[in-house]
Amino acid sequence: MDERRTGTRDQIRSVALELFAEQGYDKASLREIAERLGVTKAALYYHFKTKEEILVSILRDLLAEVDDLVRWGQAQPTSAATRQEVLRRYSRLLSTRDVQITRLLQENQCSIRALPIGAEMHEHLGQLTQVLADADLPLVDQMRARLSLIALHVGVFVTRDLAASEQDRRDAALRIAIELANG
């Protein structure tokens, strides 16, 4: 029974992510999620009471992986090699996720920022940034660290119009991110 419930929750999250990425978080509704799944709203409410609960569930999975990466990075010596490896691992983390999550994050920044999960995301990504550049470093180095993460996000979704494969765009974004982080 638990496996079936988990499978249904995963299906709901998948369909919701699809809709949030296509239409935007604010425009997508629980009714549309239920319709696309072919279930009643009541069946959907059994698993999630609000679309915010669905979004939080999706983003918490991502944040758990970011936390793992932060812990790993904090345990390493502060060096260019560590920064490069953190960026490589973060790039892989993003690439193992559906492109829709990147689209969701990119196109729904204001909506996510307005929710409590937005503050959590900001905090977790701030910790990742600190692994790349401590707060006591000069401003330019702190900005390079932040921009290196942004390069990885932008490299997936915003560059879709470039005549290159997704992997080539990811590789180029990683190269730029490493160059930024290492100044």
Q: pLDDT value at position 1? A: 44
Token pair, residue 51, equals 């679309």
Q: pLDDT value at position 89? A: 96
Per-residue confidence in pLDDT tens, the chain, 183 aa: 455 556 789 999 999 999 998 899 999 999 999 999 999 899 899 999 999 999 999 999 999 999 999 999 999 998 899 999 999 999 998 887 767 887 888 888 899 999 999 999 999 999 999 999 988 889 998 899 999 999 998 877 677 778 888 888 889 999 999 999 987
Q: pLDDT value at position 57? A: 95
Token pair, residue 173, equals 């974004």
Q: pLDDT value at position 114? A: 93
Q: pLDDT value at position 36? A: 94
| Residues contacting residue 115 through CB under 8 Å, at least 6 positions apart | 52, 55, 56
Can you list the domains of the chain with their CATH numbers?
Answer: 2-182 (1.10.357.10)
For residue 1, give Cα distances in angstroms to 4, 8, 48, 59, 115: 5, 11, 17, 25, 32
Where are the alpha helices (H) located in the chain, listed in sequence order?
2-23, 30-37, 41-47, 51-74, 80-96, 99-107, 109-113, 116-132, 139-157, 166-182
Q: pLDDT value at position 86? A: 97
CB under 8 A, 24+ apart: contacts of 116-119: 117/52, 117/55, 117/56, 117/59, 117/60
Token pair, residue 47, equals 């698993």
Query: Terminal CA-to-CA distance of the chain, rounded, Å?
Result: 53
Distance CA 146, CA 139 (A): 11
DSSP letter assigned to residue 158: T
Q: pLDDT value at position 169? A: 86
Percent of all residues in the chain with a pLDDT value above 90, rounded to a whole number: 59
